[in-house]
Structure 1
Amino acid sequence: MQLQHKDNISPVLPNGIKNYLIDIDGTITEDVPNEQPERMATCEPFPDALETINKWYDEGHQICFFTSRTEEHREVTTQWLNKHGFRFHSILFGKPRGGNYHWIDNHLVKATRFNGKFTELIEKEAVIQVFND
């Protein structure tokens, strides 16, 4: 599926299509720190991650890897993803390390914490932070 761009306007996701931002290290493969880049080319993907992400891609969802790896790791990262058959649209490098992410947007944002296995996503009620009226 190709997103439609008009001039300099961002594309609009069709109804039902999600834009997945997916971490790499510790989420789709073992946790490889930037201080050990030699491991980036040899680590193995988690099989359930490969299967699930490619299924989402085939369903037309947008796949963007969002990683703490730096721009200097672009080549080894792209080669690794391609070697293992991950299908994706883009990669964002330089995500700050640590887990205290807070996304503020004028659109509904959903977040899923990775707990060791890719499975079907389910609906679940949770407490969230919102702006005070």
Structure 2
Amino acid sequence: MGETIILSTLQKTWILDLDGTLVKHNGYKIDGVDTLLDGAKEYVQSIPEEDFILILTSRTDEYREMTISFLEENGIRYDEILFNMPMGERIVVNDRKPSGIDMAVAVNTDRDVFDMPEIRRIT
């Protein structure tokens, strides 16, 4: 992607999709197992510990235990994971601080390609 996003030094809430973003899309169905996308683990590990990570997935509860075990075994840190999410667009709506800081950022990547922008924090 080659993009850089400049963020404040405030704690963040990261909302990450699972299939096609962190792991191969439907790999758990096609291959019988999940496969992390290249660079996904390292990127998640680079998120500061004080930030909150929410993973969203359309997977049903049938795959909950398998998915959580996979994430734990592969060292993918998260604070909360929500299953049974709709398959449509994910819409984030937030305010802008009086200082001008936009409080929502959206990044779209190609399916099964982990190509996140570089994150820089205002110092």
> Is TM > 0.5 for Structure 1 vs Structure 2?
yes
1:92 aligns with one of 62, 79, 82? 82
Q: Is the 8 A contact 2:55 2:82 kept in 1?
A: yes
Q: 1:46 to 1:38 in 2, by over 3 A?
A: closer
Structure 1 counterpart SS, 2:118: coil
Q: Which has the larger share of strand?
A: 2
* Alpha-carbon separation, structure 1, partners of 2:108 and 2:69: 26
Deviation, structure 1 residue 119: 4.0
The number of residue pairs the alignment matches comes to 103
TM-score by length of 2: 0.70
Q: Distance in 1 between matches of 2:18 and 2:46?
A: 17
Note closer, same or farther for the CA distance 1:87–1:24 as it changes in structure 2 (3 Å cut).
Answer: same
Aligned alpha-carbon RMSD (Å): 2.4
| Cα shift readout 1:25-74 (whole Å, capped 9, x = no counterpart) | 0001110178x3872xx22211311001111044x211111111122221
Q: Deviation at 1:103?
A: 2.8
Q: What TM-score comes out, normalization by structure 1 length?
A: 0.65
Structure 2, unaligned stretches of length 5 or more? 1-8, 97-102
Query: In terms of Rg, which structure is larger?
Result: 1
Partner of 1:9: none
Map 1:19-98 to 2 at 5 A. 19-32=13-26, 36=29, 39=32, 42-58=33-49, 60-98=50-88
Greater shift, 19-28 or 104-113, is seen at 104-113
Question: How far apart are the structure 2 equivalents of 1:78 and 1:20?
Answer: 18
Give the Å deviation of 1:88. 1.2
Contact 1:29 1:46 in 2 (8 A): yes
Runs of 4+ aligned residues of structure 1 deviating over 4 Å after TM superposition are: none
Judge conservation of contact 1:57–1:87 (CA < 8 Å) in 2: no
Whether the 8 Å CA contact 2:27–2:35 is kept in 1: the answer is no
Unaligned runs of 5+ in 1: 1-14, 123-133
Q: Does 2:107 correspond to 1:109?
A: no
Q: Percent same amino acid among aligned pairs?
A: 25
